[in-house]
Chain A
Amino acid sequence: MKMLVTESSRRHFGYTIRMGYQLRTYFVLLASFVVAAARAEEVDFARDIRPILSENCSFCHGPDEETREADLRLDTATGAANVIEPNDSEASELYRRLITDDVDELMPPPESNRQLSKREIELIRKWIESGASWEQHWSFQSIREVEVPQVSVTDHAPVRNPIDAFVQQKLADRGISPSPEASRSTLIRRLSLDLTGLPPTPEQVATFLADSRPDAYERLVDQLLDSPAYGIRMAWPWLDAARYADTNGYQGDRERTMWPWRDWVVDAFNNNLPFDQFTTWQLAGDLIPDATPEQKLATGFCRNHMINGEGGRIPEENRVEYVMDMSETMGTVWLGLTLNCCRCHDHKYDPISNREYYQLFAFFNQTPVNGGGGDPQTAPNLAVPNAQQASELDTLAKQISDLDKRLQNRDATLTAEQPNWEKQQLAGLSREQSWRLLTDLQIDALHGTSKLLDDQSILIDGDAINDDYTILASPGPSKITGMRLETLRHASHTGNGLSRSDSGNFVLTDFLVSVSNGENSAPMPVTIASADATFEQGSHAITNAFDNDPKSGWAVYEGRTVDRNHTAVFRFAEPIELVADSTLQISLRHQSVHARHNIGRFRLAVTSDDRPSLSNESDQLLAALSVETDKRSDDQRSLIQSAHRSADDRYQKLRSDRDKQTKRRDDLRNSLPKVMVMEDMSNPRETFVLNRGLYNKPTDKVQAKLPEFLPKPEASDQSVDRLLLAKWLVNADNPLTARVTVNRFWQQVFGIGLVKTTEDFGTQGETPIQLDLLNWLSWQFREDSWNVKNLIRLIVTSHTYRQTSKLTDRSAYDQDPANRLLARGSRYRLPSWMLRDQALAASGLLSPVASGPAVNAYQPPGIWEDASFGKKKYQQDQGEKLYRRSLFVFWRRIIAPTMFFDNASRQTCTVGVNRTNTPLHALQTLNDVTFVEASRALAETALGSPAQSDSDRIDRIMQRVLARPCSPAERHILLSGLERTRLQFADHPAEAVQLLDMGDSPRNETLDAAEHAAWTSLTLAILNLDETLNRE
């Protein structure tokens, strides 16, 4: 799927680059004003007071009417005013209840297990004493431009952009100095991993280290942002948020084809689709006027939820679950709100009611999905061709339309020629003979008894398991081209069908014709060339009746007791000429394994037509032609027309070509991946508040509506649908989307968000220490037309980002061990998917293929089979597919790929990060074939380069993994380790071969095995160094 950068996004891009330079100039000027920035710590309502009230009071005095006590609200200014006397804590009931000794009056009540600390009570007191100013929760306030603080700068920590000004001001408040810049080799590895998920190549490192231009760093940033790997890196967290997987989940866990959507996400990041459009397309691309296929494809975001195909599940229950999932995913990803809390009741902490939850639910409640079945491509869906398929489809469409035109032309010609043709036909047909019944028969059944009925049909009576009949007839001198066998129903048959079998069906295993001329001549078998039948049951085709196989035969069962007559017509290879004493011998055999499947009643006829056919088409045609042109019925006219066209070879050729191409087109279309997408029904579905979230307990009817507590767009006549919702999310008035989004990108780079609770920006979420910074960045992002690459560039070009992650100042660490103040660069373990990509890239094994259906990389045997009782069999891929980037690895929802420890499960929307260090993770990077093979390949690269010392080779490996050479101390350790391992493998050469045999990729067999194995062990150790596992 290709996408063009829109003209407008390109413009935004250029605009901000210019602005960036202006900003830089501004700060150089600013730096000359040295301003002391120490500020007294005052009680801040948003930071200090609201969290206390929310945590301890809201459960009983919050937004939820159901659980509200004493009709008192402490989540609103008006509510709290009832119990607060500004500037007078002693006179404030709120304060009095916190400090009272009377356990009946004490708040929160002891049985709630909540208790305020002395510090918290003191904060409340100070706040009341200073006027008890109340403001809206910080994240619900509109986003405005924030004044960038003026800070003094030091040589080692420049203010490169406003991020640094905000960060350094906070640090100065606490007497902490920022850290100096990290080394260039650290920076390039950090940047490369953060922006592309891959380590830099040694060439990139050399170029960067040698680049003495003042903007060398910024150039590197631009280069990485332009790399196609950027989109792949950015897509991973988005896929976690979008609960993207390659299967449905639940029992059955069927495979879906949503991967074109995944490829779209990669392209969208690479093409820097502005985040507002990125939003609108994914939530409501289908509703954009004249929506492009790409915009529709983007809505696959909403349909990535799990699908429950278990038998016995109630479809509506499933459907409601899906709609809730879509609504809550939107809530988490864009609003940072825990909407799921409101399924059953009003939110306990945030101002969203139970009713409003279902009003949001109503936006997503309009798809035609009914919740039944487990189709992993449940409609509405969109077939998505790749470039080659798209061009093939184009070609086929042209060919088909061309053939259609030529058919039309030929048709016109035939129409013109028709009167002539009709005349010829009429003359010809009149001479033809039609079917002649055989009479004066001699009948012999092997077991049954026969009876000739008045209509010349033969009835065979009897219950033989298998019976055969022989019929002799002497039709007199004539030419015979074929024979007709009519099988006829009879009351004595099962169900008034065609035989006495259990179903009234028969199996005619052989139909044989021979002819003898005169009593003494031997019967000559007549070869049957072809046949037609009114019906053929599955593989029991009519051809089985003359195929020399005594067991196979013709049958006519249609899933019910046979209830109609059937006819077969046999065409002879050569016409036979009968003379006066010629005798025809016809044998019907029923030797199948099916009991009593013997034809019970039948009638035989012969013809001399040129082409004997089943229907009496020629009779009808003759009749039609005999009628005067203007008196013919429509049926007659079309019969004549089609007979004329059937007889025309050119027409027939064109038609068969057209049919062939149409079939190719249809086959290709059917083979395309189908992405489940969004679509609203024309008849809106009604939405109800569901009691306790139960699908079968609807209460009040509601309409789609935006939540009350957030600013709404101006009234317009635009319909209230998902498009309105999406536009509202990225409207300038929306206080949440920009903050939540900026925070997620920040988390992606720094390892932790400015707001740690990435998933919760409500009153119970974290109030960020760097609130001004977050507000400024959000404002900047929105003003910059939601330009994601610019935002990332802004972040990574700050000094804050460029700081070393060394812990140089012990007191700074003690004050802020989690580094929330950002006095140093962040240092954290790489996500497991990036560890795999890093190893593949450093070893040179990484495949360049970066799109298409998901692949099955290495996984220990039996994982899927164990989880599914053997129903899902893991078929490991081969060749380059084993080495594609992790983003393209098949994600089975009930059992995720084992290599991606600590990752989101992709079962529901996840935006936070999970980073733990268990021994199991170490075992994986030490023992998984992925890492062993990468070590072997990287060792081979090092060994393959000519004329190097061991020391040089080690550097070569270190360069590829860590973008730097060894330190002397490290070198000593690694060299002695190498020496030790060489001896071990020299003693155990078989082990060397075994180790080198890990992984599918071929190895250079000319290398000495023990030597190669020793280097493989060394490289595996380097891949497991703390520095390798970390981004630092």
Chain B
Amino acid sequence: MNPLQQHRQQLTRRQFLGRGATGIGTAALASLLHNDQSVVAANPAAQFGGLPSLPHFAPKAKRVIYLFQNGAPTHVDLFDWKPRLQELHGQPVPSSYIGDRRFSTMTGKADGKLLLAPVEPFSQRGESGAWVSNFMPHTANVADELCFVKSMYTEQVNHAPAINFMLSGAEMPGRPTMGAWLTYGLGSDTDELPSFVVMTSITKDTSCGQIFYDFYWGNGFLPSRFQGVKFRGSGDPVLYVSNPNGMSRENRRGWLDDIAAINQLKLDEYGDPEIATRISQYEMSFKMQASVPELADLSSESRETLDLYGPGVEEPGTFAHNCLMARRLVERGCRFVQLMHAGWDQHNSLTTELYNQCRDTDQSSAALVMDLKRRGLLEDTLVIWGGEFGRTPFLQGDLNNRPRWGRDHHPYAYTLWMAGGGVKPGFSYGETDDLGINVAENGVHVHDFQATLMHLLGIDHQRLTYKFQGRQFRLTDIHGHVINELIA
């Protein structure tokens, strides 16, 4: 065939995928999302990639939005109402509550520390009667949708290890995070957007924010395509998503067709299936160039919706904006959206900064739950709100200096809430003691929480493993029990 004739016969780019001289091209798109040839076989639950054996059983949730509150929100000031803490305000912690428990180097021994009453009153809310701080009026309004876990506990006392522990099941960096495990196992429902997206924010002018390490959304030893894609708060939401200045979409389209045509020639000559993968990779990048700006363009949102999420929603980089983006992402097939919001580490600014912190997160977190619900998305979308540990029910600082009151890190008990995705609404699980210091009943270890989360997504946490350095690894290490009581 002469070259001219051949070129005339070039099929349109969309047909390349199904054509492929050797017939290998058909698998290309799937293999792009999941390169192991053995597991390219279609996963009925996902359109793209995923392990053939997954899900292990019918999932309750198909996707997750994790509103991660970096720095550790104070459980006794927000959700874990302890009247006795008010009675004993200013009294030393009874030593029977603390034994030889280790705290951060800032506190050292807890002996003699003074108990501190919640800085803001609580009220009972909704039909479920959940206690919620008055700092969280919007969350209080959706209390009947929420499933509180008040008996979380962890093993880590410093931020980075504890956050890693929450997200990857191990305190040291290097293991895959939840989002990576889930997209590896379940594949993707979109080929136009990344399936695991991360967005970060911080309360303005806070004095207590930790930086976000990229291993918080790392792929560990899983292939790097399972790494979370960080959407940025300024510039292009996805790095390099915009065409170079002066290059129109028309120009780009034309050349992508030409690149595909030449790559097709190469595929015909070489027969390497990776070339077919390349063709679809470039096609997907073009789609992403359209879908990312479309995703970020809020003009289709009604005023009412924008107002629901609260001030700042139209300003990229805010928590409110990210919450709305999270909804738009899951609508478009994204599997795991991880929002991380910093500024909860109130060692000496409880009375001055906790309010701001709540103001910046309360309305949009609640709005997200409401918005998902009215769109019918909440039933199979799991929303999680919580941090890496709690804060000490006792005071860090000087009792006489109220403006500098604070609370230190507290790994022994903390609260998180979940909504949708198959968890019981208007429910509270687990109890701490009457001072909020220790778990008194139904403790939920981090690995139990992870096992439960995987269960909601139709995965047996013991069976989703990956071999690395000669060992089968999993999110829950060698631990973890599903907490069935949480599941609706």
Complex: chain A residue closest to B276, CB-CB: A1026
Which residue from A349, A918, A1018 sits with its C-beta under 8 Å from B281?
A918
Complex contact B263–A997 (CB within 8 A): no
Give every chain A residue within 8 A of B262 (Cβ-Cβ): 970, 973-974, 1025-1026
Q: Is A126 an interface residue (CB 8 A)?
A: no
Give every chain A residue within 8 A of B274 (Cβ-Cβ): 827-829, 917, 1030
Q: Is A980 an interface residue (CB 8 A)?
A: yes
Q: Is B244 an interface residue (CB 8 A)?
A: yes
Complex: chain A residue closest to B233, CB-CB: A866
B251 to chain A, nearest CB (A): 5
**Chain A stretch 355-390: residues in CB contact (< 8 A) with chain B:** none
Complex contact A923–B288 (CB within 8 A): yes
Complex: chain B residue closest to A872, CB-CB: B211
Complex contact A1013–B246 (CB within 8 A): yes
The stretch of A71-79, A630-638, A754-762 that contacts the partner chain:
A754-762
Q: Is A992 an interface residue (CB 8 A)?
A: yes
Complex contact B241–A927 (CB within 8 A): yes
Complex contact B270–A1032 (CB within 8 A): yes
Q: Is A709 an interface residue (CB 8 A)?
A: no
Q: Is B84 an interface residue (CB 8 A)?
A: no
Which of B2, B7, B174 has the most A CB atoms < 10 Å from its CB? B7
Q: Is B471 an interface residue (CB 8 A)?
A: yes
Measured between alpha carbons, how far is A415 from B254 in the docked complex, in Å?
Answer: 91
Measured between alpha carbons, how far is A1032 from B275 in the docked complex, in Å?
Answer: 12
Which residue from A917, A968, A1032 sits with its C-beta under 8 Å from B278?
A917
Interface string of B452-479 (1 = CB under 8 A from A): 0000000000110000011100000000
Give every chain A residue within 8 A of B88 (Cβ-Cβ): none
The answer to whether A927 and B244 touch (CB under 8 A), given A314-B105, A806-B271, is yes
Complex contact A867–B258 (CB within 8 A): no
Complex contact B239–A860 (CB within 8 A): yes
Q: Is A656 an interface residue (CB 8 A)?
A: no
Interface string of B339-383 (1 = CB under 8 A from A): 000000000000000000000000000000000000000000000
Interface string of A1014-1027 (1 = CB under 8 A from B): 00011011001111
Measured between alpha carbons, how far is A867 from B462 in the docked complex, in Å?
Answer: 34
Interface string of A888-926 (1 = CB under 8 A from B): 000000110010011001011000001011111111101
Give every chain B residue within 8 A of A340 (Cβ-Cβ): 469
Q: Is B277 an interface residue (CB 8 A)?
A: yes
B282 to chain A, nearest CB (A): 5
A75 to chain B, nearest CB (A): 13
Q: Is A465 an interface residue (CB 8 A)?
A: no
Q: Is B242 an interface residue (CB 8 A)?
A: yes
Complex contact A969–B173 (CB within 8 A): no
Q: Is B255 an interface residue (CB 8 A)?
A: yes
Complex contact A916–B223 (CB within 8 A): yes
Complex contact B265–A969 (CB within 8 A): yes
Q: Is A972 an interface residue (CB 8 A)?
A: yes
Residues of B in contact, count (CB < 8 Å): 79
Interchain Cβ contacts within 8 Å, total number: 221
Which residue from B6, B158, B269, B285 sits with its C-beta under 8 Å from A919?
B285
Q: Is A807 an interface residue (CB 8 A)?
A: yes
B306 to chain A, nearest CB (A): 24
A694 to chain B, nearest CB (A): 11
Q: Is B401 an interface residue (CB 8 A)?
A: no
Complex contact A997–B246 (CB within 8 A): yes
Which residue from A828, A901, A922, A1025 sits with its C-beta under 8 Å from B285?
A922
**Chain A stretch 913-945: residues in CB contact (< 8 A) with chain B:** 914, 916-924, 926-929, 932
Which residue from A763, A867, A916, A994 sits with its C-beta under 8 Å from B225?
A916
Complex contact B282–A988 (CB within 8 A): no
Q: Is B194 an interface residue (CB 8 A)?
A: yes
Give every chain B residue within 8 A of A1027 (Cβ-Cβ): 266
A767 to chain B, nearest CB (A): 12
Measured between alpha carbons, how far is A272 from B272 in the docked complex, in Å?
Answer: 36
**Chain A stretch 232-262: residues in CB contact (< 8 A) with chain B:** 250-251
Q: Is B95 an interface residue (CB 8 A)?
A: no
Give every chain A residue within 8 A of B158 (Cβ-Cβ): 312-313
Complex contact A869–B285 (CB within 8 A): no
Give every chain A residue within 8 A of B469 (Cβ-Cβ): 338, 340-341, 757, 759-760, 764
The answer to whether A977 and B258 touch (CB under 8 A), given A992-B246, A1027-B266, is yes
Q: Is B210 an interface residue (CB 8 A)?
A: yes
Give every chain B residue within 8 A of A450 (Cβ-Cβ): none
Q: Is B245 an interface residue (CB 8 A)?
A: yes
Complex contact B288–A860 (CB within 8 A): no
**Chain B stretch 227-264: residues in CB contact (< 8 A) with chain A:** 229, 232-236, 238-248, 250-252, 254-255, 258-259, 261-263
Measured between alpha carbons, how far is A969 from B269 in the docked complex, in Å?
Answer: 12
Measured between alpha carbons, how far is A312 from B32 in the docked complex, in Å?
Answer: 45
Q: Is B35 an interface residue (CB 8 A)?
A: yes
Which residue from B233, B244, B278 sits with its C-beta under 8 Å from A998?
B244
Complex contact B271–A807 (CB within 8 A): yes
Measured between alpha carbons, how far is A613 from B263 in the docked complex, in Å?
Answer: 88
Give every chain B residue within 8 A of A1021 (Cβ-Cβ): 255, 258-259
Give every chain A residue within 8 A of B104 (Cβ-Cβ): 312
Q: Is A880 an interface residue (CB 8 A)?
A: no
Complex: chain B residue closest to A902, CB-CB: B224
Which residue from B35, B211, B255, B471 sits with its C-beta under 8 Å from A867?
B211
A961 to chain B, nearest CB (A): 12
Give every chain A residue within 8 A of B239 (Cβ-Cβ): 860, 898, 920, 923-924
Interface string of A797-813 (1 = CB under 8 A from B): 00000000111101001
Give every chain A residue within 8 A of B246 (Cβ-Cβ): 990-998, 1013
Measured between alpha carbons, how far is A829 from B158 in the docked complex, in Å?
Answer: 40
Give every chain A residue within 8 A of B212 (Cβ-Cβ): 867
Measured between alpha carbons, how far is A827 from B270 in the docked complex, in Å?
Answer: 10
The answer to whether A1026 and B266 touch (CB under 8 A), given A807-B272, A919-B284, is yes
Complex contact A916–B224 (CB within 8 A): yes
Complex: chain A residue closest to B271, CB-CB: A807
Complex contact B266–A995 (CB within 8 A): no
The answer to whether A251 and B223 touch (CB under 8 A), given A348-B471, A923-B288, A928-B240, is no
Interface string of A259-280 (1 = CB under 8 A from B): 0000000000000000000000
Give every chain A residue within 8 A of B463 (Cβ-Cβ): 113
Measured between alpha carbons, how far is A492 from B106 in the docked complex, in Å?
Answer: 43
Give every chain A residue within 8 A of B285 (Cβ-Cβ): 919-920, 922-923, 926
Q: Is A984 an interface residue (CB 8 A)?
A: yes
Which residue from A917, A984, A990 sits with its C-beta under 8 Å from B32?
A917
Complex contact B211–A923 (CB within 8 A): no
The answer to whether A920 and B254 touch (CB under 8 A), given A338-B470, A994-B245, is no
Complex contact B224–A901 (CB within 8 A): yes
Which residue from A54, A338, A920, A1029 sits with its C-beta under 8 Å from B194?
A920
**Chain B stretch 9-64: residues in CB contact (< 8 A) with chain A:** 22, 32, 35, 37
Q: Is A142 an interface residue (CB 8 A)?
A: no
Measured between alpha carbons, how far is A863 from B200 in the docked complex, in Å?
Answer: 13
Complex contact A862–B270 (CB within 8 A): no
B292 to chain A, nearest CB (A): 9
Complex contact B471–A341 (CB within 8 A): yes
Complex: chain A residue closest to B4, CB-CB: A972
Which of A250, A340, A967, A1024 has the most B CB atoms < 10 Å from its CB? A1024
Complex: chain B residue closest to A966, CB-CB: B262
Complex contact B265–A967 (CB within 8 A): yes
Q: Is B3 an interface residue (CB 8 A)?
A: yes
Name 15 A/B residue pairs within 8 A (Cβ), A-sorted: A314-B105, A806-B270, A807-B271, A827-B270, A866-B233, A867-B212, A894-B213, A901-B224, A907-B174, A922-B281, A923-B285, A926-B240, A1020-B244, A1026-B263, A1026-B278
In order of increasing CB-CB distance, the 7 nearest A-B pairs are A764-B470, A994-B246, A995-B246, A807-B271, A969-B3, A922-B285, A919-B285
Q: Which B residues have a C-beta under 8 Å from some C-beta of A?
A: 2-4, 6-7, 22, 32, 35, 37, 104-106, 158, 160, 173-174, 194, 200, 202, 209-215, 223-225, 229, 232-236, 238-248, 250-252, 254-255, 258-259, 261-263, 265-266, 269-272, 274-275, 277-279, 281-282, 284-285, 287-289, 462-463, 469-471
